[in-house]
Amino acid sequence: MDVLRIKGGLPLEGRVKAAGAKNSITKLLVASLLSEKKCIFYNVPRIAEVEVTVDLCREIGAEIHWDKEAGIIETQTKELRTSYVPQRFSGSNRIPILMIGALLGRTQEDIIVPTVGGCKIGQRPIDFHIAALEKLGAVIEYRMMKKEGAYFAHAHNGLSGAIIHLPFPSVGATENTILAAARAKGTTVIKNAATEPEIIDLILFLQKMGVIIFVDVDRTIRIQETHHFNEVEHTVITDRIVSASLGMAAISTKGRVFVEGAQHLHMITFLNKLHEIGAGFEVRDNGIEFFYKGPLKGGLHIETDVHPGFMTDWQQPFVVLLTQAYGNSVIHETVYENRFGYAHALKLMGADVELFTQCLGGKECRFASRNFHHSLIVRGPTPLKGREIAIPDLRAGFAYVMAALLAPETSTIGGLQFLDRGYENIVGKLASLGADIVRDRADAHSPSLAIASAS
């Protein structure tokens, strides 16, 4: 098992490039399965999540060439080899379920997908996906296979456009419905759709592909039946989670880092919060510079929300940043019910954080009175100390790295399989900014890290 060893206390200084967005390229690869034409993607991040998705698409019949150095993927699925996503992809990530939307219009065969995985940050049901696809005419059943269950889906009578009202603007359910709608008869209308930048990226890609698709101002997306698909070249948007994470690491270590590629438009809410705590940033043509410009002010209230709100994936490193700010701040997580799994380890490192089941903030969310620890108070500033810690999920992973960069002693971080899913060459990038960080084999006797590999 690999671990990171980080000796903190050094300011991050320099320039670093943020990679393409994980949550965009993985969906674009699935969308490329809609047609038999070639698609070329630029700015592809070299991360495990893309490896898994490439593997998945190859299984279905995509011929893929991935130039990892150049960050370019060429893919073409002239014909489907199978519509059965093997059980080995069960629990791998959130992508297999999107295969239903992408393949329904392309095959009369049953599409079989294993249960989906992803980070353990809540129950993450897929009921909205299923209900929307059924409304378009899909027949979906959950059946037991040899070892575990799988979804069996088909549209033997074809798909027909419909009006779909999502109960919550779910990213995945919006994507799945858009993919199915591209090959459904007539027009599909998705109301209360998610409009995250990664979804807009998918929409831009589909429009280039030949899909007629509209985004209205009121979270309504309309998609028309498409008969003819084009070859497409598309540059993946920069990862706004990675950009913000690197920026927060720079500020919290009292450094200054230019994050090349960071996109202003996708980070408005985040930058406003940096402004509120007195952190520095300067937006330039091809990126954003983040810097420390004096003591950070706490007293902040953050409520995570769907776009254009404060992303749930920004809150973990932001809490670490707030451990260095003067005053008490409140974070109310309204997107996932269980996204503070990292708080315990932060406490062990010296952070003053406390969890609450109540909605601490302006509004009651879907998790009110449901006994989930989904609010947190952080009091600062507190010095952090090095520990041996195990990453519980992807975004918590970067929060731990950031906490370790603040602690003067050496921290050892296990559970790197989570971090590898979404952060390209994080050791190389942080080391180039002056961090004392290495990737190493774990010592034989590291009980707290062994727990990580089993979780």
**Hey, which residues are catalytic here?**
119
Rounded CA separation 247/237 (Å)? 17
Q: Which stretch binds ligand EPU (CB under 6 A): 39-47, 79-87, 124-132, 294-302?
A: 124-132
In a 3-state reduction of DSSP, which class is residue 213?
strand
Residue bearing tokens 């990171």: 4
Interaxial angle between packed helices 240-252 and 315-322, expressed in degrees from 0 to 180 and rounded to the nearest 10: 10
**Residue 19 binds ligand EPU, judged by CB under 6 A:** no
Closest CB to ligand EPU among residues 168, 214: 168
**Residue 397 binds ligand EPU, judged by CB under 6 A:** no
Greatest alpha-carbon span in the chain: 64
Q: Which of residues 141-170 bind ligand EPU (CB under 6 A)?
A: 168, 170
Among 41, 89, 128, 205, binds ligand EPU (CB under 6 A): 128
Say if strands 2-7 and 13-17 run parallel, antiparallel, or are unpaired.
Answer: unpaired
Say if strands 232-235 and 39-42 run parallel, antiparallel, or are unpaired.
Answer: parallel
**Residue 333 binds ligand EPU, judged by CB under 6 A:** no
Q: Which stretch binds ligand EPU (CB under 6 A): 34-42, 121-129, 137-145, 157-165?
A: 121-129
Closest CB to ligand EPU among residues 292, 336: 336
Given CA atoms 144, 27, 184, 230 in this order, what sign does their dihedral have? negative
Q: Which of residues 421-450 bind ligand EPU (CB under 6 A)?
A: 422
Residues 219, 247, 313, 201, Cα dihedral to 10°: 40
Per-residue CA distances from 214 to 33, 218, 221, 285, 340 (Å): 21, 12, 6, 28, 36
Burial grade of 453 (CB within 10 A; 0-12, 13-18, 19 or more): middle
Residue span 101-120 as binding mask against ligand EPU, x where in contact by CB under 6 A, dash where not: ------------------x-
CB of 132 to ligand EPU, least distance (A): 9
Closest CB to ligand EPU among residues 112, 171: 171
**Residue 243 binds ligand EPU, judged by CB under 6 A:** no
Among 182, 394, 402, 404, binds ligand EPU (CB under 6 A): 394
**Residue 125 binds ligand EPU, judged by CB under 6 A:** yes
Report which residue type is found at 80.
L
Among 312, 316, 323, 329, binds ligand EPU (CB under 6 A): 312
Among 120, 124, 264, 385, binds ligand EPU (CB under 6 A): 124
Instruction: Quote the radius of gyration of the chain (alpha carbons, Å).
Output: 22
CB of 21 to ligand EPU, least distance (A): 9
Query: How many residues line the site for ligand EPU (CB under 6 A)?
Result: 25
Give me 47's structure tokens.
Answer: 């991360």
**Residue 21 binds ligand EPU, judged by CB under 6 A:** no
Closest CB to ligand EPU among residues 335, 351: 335
Closest CB to ligand EPU among residues 196, 388: 196
**Residue 335 binds ligand EPU, judged by CB under 6 A:** yes
In a 3-state reduction of DSSP, which class is residue 230?
coil
- Alpha-helix residue ranges (DSSP H) falling in 159-314: 171-181, 197-209, 240-252, 268-277
Give the interface with ligand EPU as residue ranges (CB under 6 A): 23, 94, 119, 122-129, 168, 170-173, 194, 196, 312-313, 335-336, 394-395, 422
